[in-house]
Amino acid sequence: MALLFVAVLMLYLYINPLRTYISTWQEAETKRGEVAAMQREHRALLVRQRALEAPGAVETEARRLGMVRKDERAYVVRGLPQGR
């Protein structure tokens, strides 16, 4: 009977660390996924940075956003057919 009690006690003592280990392992998997996503985003941002460092890229991006120079006049064209 004492041996059974010791075995149950040992099992009880190992349950909490095992639960902690499993939850830590699952959290590490989640964090690895987040890190991989951030690395992909970082690579995309580096590509975008290199593209914006090209001559004239900032002006092209500003025009895409609808900006004009001080000495230019902006026009809005309405009534165009859809898809053109």
pLDDT, average across residues 75-83: 84
Q: In 1-84, where does DSSP find H-type helix?
A: 2-52, 57-64
How far apart, in Å, are the Cα atoms of 1 and each of 4, 5, 73, 74? 5, 6, 95, 92
pLDDT, average across residues 30-39: 98
Least confident stretch, 11-15, 43-47, 48-52 = 11-15
pLDDT, average across residues 11-32: 92
pLDDT at 23: 95
pLDDT at 28: 97
pLDDT at 52: 86
Terminal CA-CA length for the chain: 87
pLDDT, average across residues 42-69: 91
Question: Alpha-carbon distance 32 to 26, whole Å?
Answer: 10
Amino acid identity, residue 72? E
Asked if pLDDT for residue 12 goes beyond 90, the answer is no
Q: What is the pTM of this model?
A: 0.56
Residue with tokens 């001080």: 70
Residue 72 DSSP label: S
